[in-house]
Amino acid sequence: MTIKVGDKMPSGTLTLATKDGPQKISTDDYFKGRKVVLFSVPGAFTPTCDAKHLPGFVEQAGALKGKGVDKIACLSVNDAFVMKAWGKSQNTEDKVDMLADGNADYTKALGLEMDASGFGMGTRGQRFAIVVDDGVVKQLNVEAKGEFKVSSAEHVLAQL
């Protein structure tokens, strides 16, 4: 079942690559008591994700935080090392947390997985953006297949 506005974010574990190595992150702790913009991309370094999606959130980080957002997180079905390398290449630094969902467990818990095996990528996450306030979904923007509109940083910013 796909998550919807008003639902509590599911409990799960994601991985964040840090200078001390991969760190497990409890989603309950991550979303608790803060406003988070969580956006998902089908894959690190893939064309739209690398050229538009992640860069938009890096560029708009200050404006989003000015609207009360505490954390911005990029979610992808990739390993933590790939996410760290991608974040470094995109200068995400303290602007965007690069969260890995290596086995797509959390993406599946959200009900937002997709089959990208036709592209040799297996199970991946759909392109989406969720505004979460203290663990509750306030906005949910899931892209139509092949689109990049409603999950952009600019669209999310306009909703806040």
pLDDT tens per residue, range 23-67: 999 999 999 999 999 999 998 887 787 878 999 999 999 999 999
* Alpha helices (H) in the chain, listed in sequence order: 27-31, 47-48, 54-59, 61-66, 80-89, 105-110, 153-159
74 classed as catalytic: no
Global model pTM greater than 0.85: yes
Locate the domains of the chain by residue range.
Answer: 13-159
Q: How far apart are CA 63 and CA 58, in angstroms?
A: 10
Q: How far apart are CA 28 and CA 12, in angstroms?
A: 7
Q: Which of 49, 104, 130, 153 is catalytic?
A: 49
Q: Are 58 and 73 in contact (CB under 8 A)?
A: no
CATH superfamily of domain region 13-159: Glutaredoxin (3.40.30.10)
pLDDT tens per residue, range 127-156: 999 999 999 999 999 999 889 999 999 999
